[in-house]
Amino acid sequence: MITETGHFVLILALVLAIFQTIVPMYGAAKNDARLMATAQTAAITQFLLVSIAFGALMHGYLVSDFTIKNVYANSHSAKPLIYKISGVWANHEGSLLLWVLILTMFGAAVAVFSGNLPPTLKARVLAVQGSVASAFLGFILFTSNPFERLNPAPIEGTGMNPMLQDPALAIHPPLLYAGYVGLSVAFSFAVAALIEGKVDAAWARWVRPWTLAAWMFLTVGISLGSWWAYYELGWGGWWFWDPVENASFMPWLVATALLHSAIVVEKRNALKVWTILLAILAFSLSLLGTFLVRSGVLTSVHAFANDPERGVFILAILVFFVGGSLSLYAWRATSLKAGGIFAPLSREGSLVLNNLFLAVAAFAVLTGTLFPLVYESFTGGKISVGAPFFNMVFGILIVPLLLLLPVGPFLSWKRANGLAAIKRLWIAGLAVVATIVTVFVLKADGPWAAPIGMGIAVWLIAGSLSEMAERTKFLRSPFMTFWARLKGLPGASIGMTLAHLGMGVTVIGIVAITAWKQERILVMKPSESINFAGTQVTFVSEIAGQGPNYSAETGRFDVTVDGKFVTSLYSEKRIFQPSGTPTTEVGIHPFWSGDLYVVMGDAVKTGGRTVRLYFNPFAPLIWFGSLIMFIGGMISLLDRRYRVGAPKKAKKPTLQAAE
């Protein structure tokens, strides 16, 4: 009964979404306040309906109702509670339902929090949101119904992919989807603005918080995925340029560009046409990512669905929204021209360069991801584009961006004095030189690029701090003045400093693990020891054990440094029931200088086990840096200017007209 209710309200949600697409849009065209006002109610109700549907499916998982095909195929009664919950979205149908849930949540949030939007813009934004929801609700109901029943009902479910039974991966999809789908708001605003034919500073100010929120979720979602790969896949890698990773990385790059260009629209009323395009592209890449992952066109661990019918449906959605919005753009964008003038060397100019490099980097990732597909469909030949290609091309494109990054915030709007900006970065420059020399001396045998990489990281960190020091008159004025200025800094400014600094921290981790990773592969027998990366690792014993839904062989490794006991690491080989698939759990000890990473492998015929030891210097900084970026985004989001900036009164005329 609960399941049927879920199915039924999902159908209602689709009908409502179609209503939300058509009626407010028509109302806005006719300037009919009553019709426009329906958008708000529709958006909120739709969110409630989808929540009920989602709750119904969740209920099926919690009580292990195997009469539901989706639960049968993806769950098991012995699964721990958290994976019963995350099991809801660890499959094709459920993850799409989550997608729509988050989409309607953003729609409802726009309806609730945008009281000060002009009524026509608000109606149109919500109508576009409704159209996206219609498409995906239609997709779910017609091709991927999660509420399908089974008769007769099986006794037990087939279980969930053991690889996905992990805390980080349980929350990775919701975060990533919040990022993907959050970009739909920027998209809806862009399309609505194209229809209205008007983009101004207020528009940018409304769009920025939504884009920022989406960007934060993407940042933390991608970062969690990468962390998971690091400790779960068991060979110490953290980024593989897998098409699925690229699918989330491209929207991130474009969203980053969009965040920066929206600032120019807001502050200087320039770059409007470009910003609209970015907003469209960012969500288009999200849709493309959904298509790539969901259609099974690239078969990899994430591609659960291999049904061509679904592929064609998603492709149709993709073509409609991307093609439709770009056509609208081509038709209407010219009407937006105008805006502030600026010299090439200015804050605006630096942000344009930032956008250019980010957009081209996203394009390079896109080309590399799709090239094998396109090549095969045109020539029939098979070609691989893998990590070596991406590292090289992406590296070439991203280094200039990182070098220019600390300079930008020192440039003034309209026309800047480049020399003065560079001069104010002299301390940062000095820190860079010191870093390069130190690293070069300490790691004389290391790769030649490593000191330069570290130099870039320090450039980012010191450059960001210099900007903040400049603003707060650090050390140039009494401490109290500095403190007062620091407290007075707008959230957006602190957020920027943190985000840029976080990037630098991430770069340290990336450079260190790439340049100085140590690895050792050997056979160890119990009680054998080995000296590795300044530690002594002893393979103590292996014990057989039993988890809630798996059996395990656990290897214990004791780590000592200079004869002093540090920790015991456990690496496990698990065999999951009922599928019988094996997974590996890695033992990691974080030293200040990096991670000691121990993997126990298979038993060797001659006795003992294959063991892999890694030392990954500064590896945690990769994810710690993205956490700092996330916090920066959060502080920026809390900037009260976003809440009190636009006039509050706008609500009134709408209400009056509605009565």
Partner 1 sequence: MRFLVAVAFLVLSFTAPSLAVQPEEVLKDPVLEKRARDLSTELRCLVCQNQSIDDSDAPLAKDLRILLRERLVAGDSDEQAKSYLVNRFGEFVLLRPVFALHTVFLWFGPFVLLGLGIIFLFRQKKRKPKTKAENQLSEIEQSQLKELLDGQKN
Instruction: Report how far residue 164's alpha carbon sits from residue 646's, in angstroms, rounded to the nearest whole number.
Output: 44
CB of 67 or CB of 529, closer to partner 1? 529
Q: For partner 1, which residue of 77, 158, 367, 412 counts as binding (CB under 8 A)?
A: 367
Question: Is there a contact between 595 and 616 (Cβ–Cβ < 8 Å)?
Answer: yes
Q: For partner 1, which residue of 237, 311, 418, 547 counts as binding (CB under 8 A)?
A: 237
CB of 501 to partner 1, least distance (A): 27
CB of 145 or CB of 579, closer to partner 1? 579
Q: For partner 1, which residue of 139, 357, 539, 623 counts as binding (CB under 8 A)?
A: 357
The amino acid sitting at 514 is: T
Which span sits near partner 1 by CB under 8 A: 339-347, 425-433, 474-482, 621-629? 339-347
Question: Is there a contact between 74 and 157 (Cβ–Cβ < 8 Å)?
Answer: yes
Full DSSP string of 194-221? HHHT---HHHHHHHHHHHHHHHHHHHHH
Instruction: List phi, psi (to 5°) of 149.
Output: -100, 160
CB of 116 to partner 1, least distance (A): 10
589 DSSP β-pair partners: 596
User: CB neighbours (10 Å) of residue 3?
Assistant: 21
**Burial call 499-525: b when 16+ CB within 10 Å, e when fewer:** bbbbbbbbbbbbbbbebbbbeeeeebe
Q: Does 645 bind partner 1 (CB under 8 A)?
A: no
CB of 379 or CB of 531, closer to partner 1? 379
Instruction: Report how far residue 499's alpha carbon sits from residue 629's, in angstroms, rounded to the nearest whole number.
Output: 4
Q: Does 602 bind partner 1 (CB under 8 A)?
A: yes
Question: Is there a contact between 443 and 405 (Cβ–Cβ < 8 Å)?
Answer: no
For residue 472, the surrounding DSSP H or E stretch is helix 449-472
Name residues whose C-beta falls within 8 Å of residue 519's C-beta, 6 or more positions apart in sequence: 236, 612, 613, 614, 615
CB of 303 or CB of 566, closer to partner 1? 303
Interface positions, 149-168, toward partner 1 (CB under 8 A): 162-163
Q: For partner 1, which residue of 338, 404, 430, 449 counts as binding (CB under 8 A)?
A: 338
CB of 153 or CB of 383, closer to partner 1? 383
Q: For partner 1, which residue of 52, 85, 148, 240 counts as binding (CB under 8 A)?
A: 240
Q: For partner 1, which residue of 200, 307, 528, 558 counts as binding (CB under 8 A)?
A: 200
Interface positions, 515-554, toward partner 1 (CB under 8 A): 521-523
CB of 39 to partner 1, least distance (A): 16
Interface positions, 86-145, toward partner 1 (CB under 8 A): 118-120
Contact letters (x/-) for partner 1, 205-234, by CB under 8 A?
Answer: ---------------------------xxx
CB of 649 to partner 1, least distance (A): 6
CB of 389 or CB of 624, closer to partner 1? 389
CB of 403 to partner 1, least distance (A): 15
Q: Does 379 bind partner 1 (CB under 8 A)?
A: yes
Instruction: List phi, psi (to 5°) of 427.
Output: -65, -45
Q: For partner 1, which residue of 5, 29, 141, 371 counts as binding (CB under 8 A)?
A: 371
Full DSSP string of 409-460? GGSPSSS--HHHHHHTTHHHHHHHHHHHHHHHHHTTTS-THHHHHHHHHHHH
CB of 467 or CB of 572, closer to partner 1? 572
CB of 523 to partner 1, least distance (A): 5
Interface positions, 424-463, toward partner 1 (CB under 8 A): none
Q: Does 363 bind partner 1 (CB under 8 A)?
A: yes
CB of 114 to partner 1, least distance (A): 15
CB of 104 to partner 1, least distance (A): 28
CB of 12 or CB of 393, closer to partner 1? 393
Interface positions, 570-589, toward partner 1 (CB under 8 A): 573, 581-584
Name residues whose C-beta falls within 8 Å of residue 21's C-beta, 6 or more positions apart in sequence: 127, 128, 130, 131, 134
Interface positions, 298-337, toward partner 1 (CB under 8 A): 298-301, 336-337
Which span sits near partner 1 by CB under 8 A: 257-265, 317-325, 352-360, 407-415? 352-360
CB of 338 to partner 1, least distance (A): 4
Q: Which of 95, 171, 55 is nearest to 63 (CA)?
A: 55
Q: For partner 1, which residue of 412, 423, 652, 655 counts as binding (CB under 8 A)?
A: 652
Q: For partner 1, which residue of 230, 238, 241, 249 counts as binding (CB under 8 A)?
A: 241
556 DSSP β-pair partners: 541, 570
CB of 390 or CB of 630, closer to partner 1? 390
Q: Which two tokens stand for residue 295?
A: 């259609």
Q: Which two tokens stand for residue 164?
A: 């996905």
**Three-state helix/strand/coil letters over 286-352:** HHHHHHHHHHCCCCCCCCCCCCHHHHHHHHHHHHHHHHHHHHHHHHHHHHHCCCCCCCCCCHHHHHH
CB of 388 to partner 1, least distance (A): 4
CB of 1 or CB of 444, closer to partner 1? 444
Q: For partner 1, which residue of 23, 186, 559, 599 counts as binding (CB under 8 A)?
A: 599
DSSP-based three-state secondary structure for 482: helix
Residues listed for the chain: 659
Interface positions, 14-73, toward partner 1 (CB under 8 A): none
Full DSSP string of 566-627? EEEEEEEEEEETTT--EEEE-EEEEETTEEEEEEEEEEPTTSSEEEEEEEEETTHHHHHHHH
CB of 200 or CB of 558, closer to partner 1? 200
Which span sits near partner 1 by CB under 8 A: 148-156, 169-177, 361-369, 547-555? 361-369
CB of 305 to partner 1, least distance (A): 13
CB of 237 or CB of 645, closer to partner 1? 237
Using the structure block, give the residue that is written with the tokens 């073509």: 319
Interface positions, 386-415, toward partner 1 (CB under 8 A): 386-389, 392-393, 396-397
The amino acid sitting at 626 is: S
| Residue 445, Ramachandran bin (φ over 0: left; ψ between -120 and 50: alpha; else beta) | alpha
Which span sits near partner 1 by CB under 8 A: 373-381, 460-468, 544-552, 635-643? 373-381
CA max distance for the chain: 86
Q: For partner 1, which residue of 25, 600, 622, 628 counts as binding (CB under 8 A)?
A: 600
Cα dihedral 418→424→429→430 (10° resolution): 150
CB of 365 to partner 1, least distance (A): 9
What DSSP character marks residue 544? E
Question: Is there a contact between 255 and 262 (Cβ–Cβ < 8 Å)?
Answer: no
CB of 420 to partner 1, least distance (A): 21
